A and B are shown apart, each in its own frame.
Chain A
Amino acid sequence: MKVLVAVKRVIDYNVKIRVKADNTGVETANVKMSMNPFDEIAVEEAIRMKEKGQATEIIAFSAGPAQCQETIRTALAMGADRGVLVQTDAELQPLAVAKLMKAVVDKEQPGLVIVGKQAIDDDSNQTGQMLAALLGWSQGTFANKLNVADGSAELKREVDGGLENIKIKLPAVITTDLRLNEPRYASLPNIMKAKKKPIEVLAPDTLGVDIAPRLKVLKVEEPPKRKSGIKVKTVAELVDKLKNEAGVI
């Protein structure tokens, strides 16, 4: 079974982002970019399936500017076999990405697609569910544990009250939550090997997909700042402040 994983290039999770002065977006020039952390978990899960003999080939998909090749290379260095990049400098929103992925899925016919549950830039948490809808497949979202066997998958999902167990038919789309696994680091020899692995570059129009954004971003602003508080020396002082100043206990 082929497994397709999606990897998004995002501002590194350690970077303190800055809103652009003209309020059109967030500054991305000269900022460290990395693979979306949830997508690293997706790649790792696919590699573990391959190590267990459940996956035969892992395809790393990305969409966006040419630099997304670096993100795909990271996935290849971790252990993916080849890459597919839908290259565009246009803004891509989740529905458009889901449609691009659907076009690639139609071509590649994977038995399973694994994506991060959300990207840490736009925090949408949509693409996996949308792809499942477009394909008419089942969806295993917020996966905490995944077990694939005989045309179906059993998974534990992270839900509001704890964990939920479901069984879904394959093919399916899985979205990863934090506790699914701990992604590996790529070793130096594997980083070298990854340079020789193929990456196919496609254009959105050759896939026949309309990627025009549906949501218009009117402005992006700094959140309201909390005013900085005070340090108290004793528990007695804290309790007094909470009672008499804040009035919350």
Chain B
Amino acid sequence: MAVLVVAAHDGKTVRSNVANAVTAASQMGPEVHVLVAGSNAGEAAKSAAAIQGVAKVLDAEDTAYANWLAEDVAPLVVKLAPNYSHIVMAADSVGKNIAPRVAALLDVAQVSEAIQVVSPDTFVRPIYAGNAMATVQTADKIKVVTVRPTNFKAAATGGSAPIEQIGGTGAGGLASYVGAELSKSERPELTSAKIVVSGGRGLASGENFKMLEALADKLGAGLGASRAAVDAGYVPNDYQVGQTGKVVAPDLYIAIGISGAIQHLAGMKDSKTIVAINKDEEAPIFQVADYGIVGDLFQIVPELTAAVEKK
């Protein structure tokens, strides 16, 4: 039986993590289909069809799907589910919202944030903020799985899967979308950036994050933060890296003024190379850092910004 990947998108293209989810899905079953639900989502459906390894794209058009309300999208997925062995979503804020609703409606368990597919019914997932890895097996007929995108390589583009138009299931009227306050940034998206510059409480103010922006812009990096910096109001919530925020695994992660609570480490310790800049030489962040500098970040960061070549 085929595996259904439910794709989030912005109307023009599916999210970049859909390509990672397709890779995970291809390890679960012989054929991968992608569901693009939306209102005028034809372009997004085309972008899904271009992902290699996708055998078919289902384009479900309904005004009810315009803003990804779980109450309206879940019934569509449930309707399609009997044709599939697995329902897969990336473990982002859309997948985390919708997948459990689908699972409960199907009366099946959900495997959350799988980081490895051992076999079609067995998955490895982190628990306790990544301080333990659980291998879990599900006996449910339809398996609902969210996957952590950073643990699966993005499937390449260049495919040309057929797109099938399917009908919508309508609006249930339980919820309505009012609007969004999205952070505007020209920088690469945090979870897919090759380099991430991240700041913590040590920055002492939102104003001081400008210093990190200068470094990030020179490196072509995404900008992140610890929970402490977000709670203090230095930066918006979507900057948060950690157990309950975003999980990143860039080639280079530069942690600046971040002490390294286990909850933060959970979100970045799979990075290839970690740099820590902190004045406290006992800070736990140094235990996971490949390269550490003990010292005043207000001196080191401008010096580093001057020393690196512009990308």
User: Do chains A and B interact in one complex?
Assistant: yes
> B-contacting residues of A (Cβ < 8 Å)?
11, 13, 16-17, 19, 26, 38, 93-95, 98, 117-118, 120-134, 137-142, 144, 154, 156-169, 177-179, 214-223, 226, 228-236, 238-239, 241-242, 246, 248-249
| A229 adjacent to B290 (CB under 8 Å) | yes
Closest to B262 in A: A16
Nearest A residue (CB) for B237: A158
Question: Are A235 and B293 closer than 8 Å at their CB atoms?
Answer: yes
Please report which residues of chain B, range 145-194, place their CB below 8 angstroms from some CB of chain A when the two chains form the complex: 173-183, 191
Interface pairs (16), CB distance under 8 Å? A95-B107, A123-B126, A124-B112, A125-B112, A154-B178, A159-B238, A160-B238, A162-B236, A163-B182, A165-B179, A169-B173, A229-B292, A236-B307, A242-B275, A246-B272, A249-B219
Interface string of B43-79 (1 = CB under 8 A from A): 0000000000000000000000000011100100000
A121 engages B127 (CB within 8 Å) = yes
> A132 contacts which of B101, B252, B262, B290 (Cβ < 8 Å)?
B101
Verify A123–B113 contact, CB threshold 8 A.
Answer: yes
- Structural contact, A231 and B293, CB atoms closer than 8 A: yes
In whole Å, how far is B151's beta carbon from the nearest beta carbon of chain A? 12
B9 at the interface (CB under 8 A from A): no
Select one of A117, A133, A164, A218 contacting B104, CB under 8 A.
A133
Q: Which A-chain residue is minimally distant from B294 (CB atoms)? A: A231
A133: contacting residue among B74, B93, B112, CB under 8 A: B74
Interface of A is mostly: mixed
- Greatest chain A CB density within 10 A among B105, B127, B289 is at B127
Q: Which residues of chain B come closer than 8 Å to A141, judged between CB atoms?
A: 70, 96-97
- Distance, CA A5 to CA B109, complexed state (A): 22
Within 8 A of A (CB), among B257-292: 262-263, 269, 272-275, 281, 286-292
Q: Are the CB atoms of A248 and B272 closer together than 8 Å?
A: yes
**Which residues of B lie under 8 Å from residue A179 when comparing CB positions?**
230-231, 237
**With A95-B109, A159-B238, A232-B293 given, is the CB distance from A249 to B308 under 8 Å?**
yes
Q: How distant is A60 from chain B, measured CB to nearest CB, in Å?
A: 22
In the complex, what residues of A have CB within 8 A of residue B174's CB?
Answer: 137-138, 168-169
A213 to chain B, nearest CB (A): 8
Apart from A129-B98, A159-B238, A166-B69, 14 more pairs, CB < 8 Å: A17-B131, A95-B107, A98-B104, A123-B126, A125-B112, A130-B101, A139-B175, A157-B93, A164-B181, A167-B176, A168-B176, A216-B137, A226-B288, A236-B307
Measured CB to CB, the closest approach of chain A to B48, in angstroms, equals 18
Checking B128, B230, B238 against A11 with a beta-carbon cut-off of 8 angstroms, the contacting residue is B128
Residues of B contacting A129 in the complex (Cβ-Cβ under 8 angstroms): 70, 97-101, 104
A230 with B132: CB separation less than 8 A: no
B288, closest chain A residue (CB): A226
Contacts of A94 in B (CB 8 A): 100, 109-110
Contacts of B130 in A (CB 8 A): 223
What residues of A have a CB within 8 angstroms of the CB of B219 in the complex? 249
Task: Find chain A residues with CB under 8 A from B108 CB.
Answer: 95, 214
Q: Give chain A residues whose Cβ lies under 8 Å from the Cβ of B93.
A: 142, 157-160
Residues in chain A near residue B128, CB distance under 8 A: 11, 17, 26, 120-121, 123
- Chain A residues with Cβ under 8 A from B237's Cβ? 144, 158, 162-163, 177-179
Q: How far is the CA of A93 from the CA of B288 in the complex (A)?
A: 32
Q: Which of B92, B178, B231, B291 contacts A178 (CB 8 A)?
A: B231
A166: contacting residue among B176, B274, B290, B309, CB under 8 A: B176
Cα-based distance from A208 to B101 in the complex (angstroms): 22
- Residue on B nearest A131 in the bound complex, by CB: B104
Most buried by A among B107, B110, B182: B110
Chain A CB within 10 Å, residue with most, of B70, B100, B294, B309: B100
CB-based nearest A residue for B137:
A216
